[in-house]
Amino acid sequence: MNIKEVGKSILYFLVLAAILIGLRHFVFTPVVVKGDSMDPTLIDGERVIALKNTKVKRFDIVTFPAPDDPGKNYIKRVIGLPGDTVEYKNDELYINGNKYEEAYLDEFKGKLTDDQPLTYDFNLSELFGSEKVPEGELFVLGDNRRISKDSRIIGMIKEKDIMADVKFVFWPINRFGTVD
């Protein structure tokens, strides 16, 4: 092997490393799920890929810095967008007065045996004294509503604080695939 071939190989690996580092820094980030607040959608210990710089939509699962625990991040589902009213009545979600189905909760609700709702009744006025999600903020909930520390407890999340949008499970291998 001559010096020219070695130089090309080194340059190839440096360019490849730079591309991978750039993608990791600007496009996606791996995230480890910690805790049970997103059960059964995301399970404690799963590893997921989250896309950065995406337009967050209703029902997306996002990660953001924990406002009540510096150094930690939370993963929750976006329920309310700026200007929305959000209310739960009889374990059913109403946004801007319209009922929304949450099919991702059906399996979990079916396993409850205590005749209690998964999500207890609330509205934004009761929680925050305001009827609507403020501009620049989001209302988020964990899928395991009974134990989740979410907007009902920690308050609204600033849109600018959203780090990434969870899209893909890559570990464990039996859960490999996109996040619904």
Catalytic annotation, residues: 37, 76
Q: What b/e string do you get for 32-68 counting C-beta neighbours within 10 Å, with b at 16 or more?
A: ebebbbbbebbeeebebbbebeeeeeeebbbbbeeee
Q: For residue 61, which of 74, 44, 70 has the smallest C-alpha distance?
A: 74
DSSP track, the chain: --HHHHHHHHHHHHHHHHHHHHHHHHTEEEEE--SSTTTTTS-TT-EEEEESS----TT-EEEEE-TTSTT-EEEEEEEE-TT--EEEETTEEEETTEEE--GGGHHHHHT--SS--SS--EEHHHHHS-SSPPTTEEEEE-SSTTT--SHHHH--EEGGG--EEEEEEEESGGG-EE--
